[in-house]
């Protein structure tokens, strides 16, 4: 992966992150450790279906999100408005569903299997977004969109 | 919970179960925990570290900062 906006120069292969890590191995180590730690703190048991995802997303709201977050500057008129984290999550979920639907048709996968896989990726996506210190992105709307794009490219 | 507080056996047990789930998820996501990572989490559980202290430790390691091990947080 190479992205001039979301990755560090000069080769643009390591995602920008709040820890300032420029080495992909170090970033991956920090990410898996912090995400594992966060899961061991708060994620309730379940089967990664929608009900389960809603349950722990609610927990995340209570723990991590003190109030509405402001979207990042963008040329889009809509993006200039402040968005609640709930709105952003809905956007992320809709995007994932949309991409997943097309991939299901393309690959001939069953909905049950794909939904389970999507659920797991959804867990990782949300944890990566809200985990302290928020690896690799902050709470900006267009950055989360980018995260979704990357996630779907990698996993679907 | 303060950073110096320790987890009870019941909390540790449930946290460990969730950690094993997390390890499974990380494997699915193609970023599995290595032996050093697992050893670190087992040390957290063995010594009953609070979640706050664990996070602080992980972040300090990632930043390459010096970690103060002089204060004992282990249950008496």
* Residue A134 pLDDT greater than 50, yes or no: no
- Alpha carbons B28 and B32: distance in angstroms, whole number: 8
CB contact under 8 A, A39 and B19: yes
CB contact under 8 A, B15 and A41: yes
pLDDT reported for residue B42: 94
A118: three-class secondary structure by DSSP: helix
Share of chain A above pLDDT 90, in %: 0
pLDDT reported for residue A45: 67
* Residue A22 pLDDT greater than 90, yes or no: no
Region A48-71: mean pLDDT is 52
Within 8 A of B37 by CB-CB distance, chain A residues are 29, 32-33, 36
Residue pLDDT, tens place only, A72-123: 444 444 443 444 555 555 555 555 555 555 544 444 445 455 555 555 555 5
> Is any Cβ of chain A less than 8 angstroms from the Cβ of B31?
yes
Beta-carbon count within 10 A of A17 CB: 22
pLDDT reported for residue B10: 78
Q: What is the pLDDT of chain A when averaged over all its residues?
A: 58
Tell me the β-bridge partners of A70.
A82
* Assessment of whether the complete model's pTM goes beyond 0.90: no
pLDDT reported for residue B34: 96
CB contact under 8 A, B15 and A40: yes
By CB atoms closer than 10 A (0-12, 13-18, 19+), residue B5 is middle
> Is any Cβ of chain A less than 8 angstroms from the Cβ of B18?
yes
Residue pLDDT, tens place only, B14-52: 888 888 877 877 776 677 899 999 999 999 999 989 888
> Three-state SS across chain B?
CCCCCCCCHHHHHHHHHHHHHHHHHHHHCCCCCCHHHHHHHHHHHHHCCCHHHHHHHHHHHHHCCCCCCCCCCCCC
């Amino acid at each position: 992966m190479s992205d001039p906006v979301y990755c560090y120069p000069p080769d643009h292969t390591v995602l920008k992150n709040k820890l300032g890590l420029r080495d992909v191995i170090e970033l991956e180590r920090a990410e898996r450790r912090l995400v594992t730690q966060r899961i061991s703190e708060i994620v309730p048991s379940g089967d990664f279906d929608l009900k389960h995802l809603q349950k722990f997303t609610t927990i995340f709201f209570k723990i991590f999100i003190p109030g509405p977050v402001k979207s990042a500057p963008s040329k889009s008129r809509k993006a200039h408005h402040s968005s609640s984290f709930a709105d952003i999550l809905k956007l992320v979920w809709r995007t994932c569903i949309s991409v997943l639907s097309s991939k299901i048709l393309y690959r001939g996968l069953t909905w049950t299997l794909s939904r389970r896989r999507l659920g797991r990726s959804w867990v990782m996506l949300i944890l990566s977004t809200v985990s302290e210190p928020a690896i690799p992105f902050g709470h900006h709307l267009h950055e989360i969109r980018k995260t979704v794009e990357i996630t779907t490219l990698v996993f679907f | 919970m303060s950073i110096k507080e320790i987890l009870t056996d019941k909390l540790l047990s449930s946290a460990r179960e969730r950690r094993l789930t997390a390890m499974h998820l990380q494997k699915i996501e193609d970023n599995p925990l290595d032996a050093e990572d697992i050893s670190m989490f087992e040390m957290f559980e063995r010594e009953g570290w609070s979640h706050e202290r664990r996070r602080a430790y992980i972040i300090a390691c990632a930043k390459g900062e010096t970690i103060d091990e002089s204060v004992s947080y282990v249950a008496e």
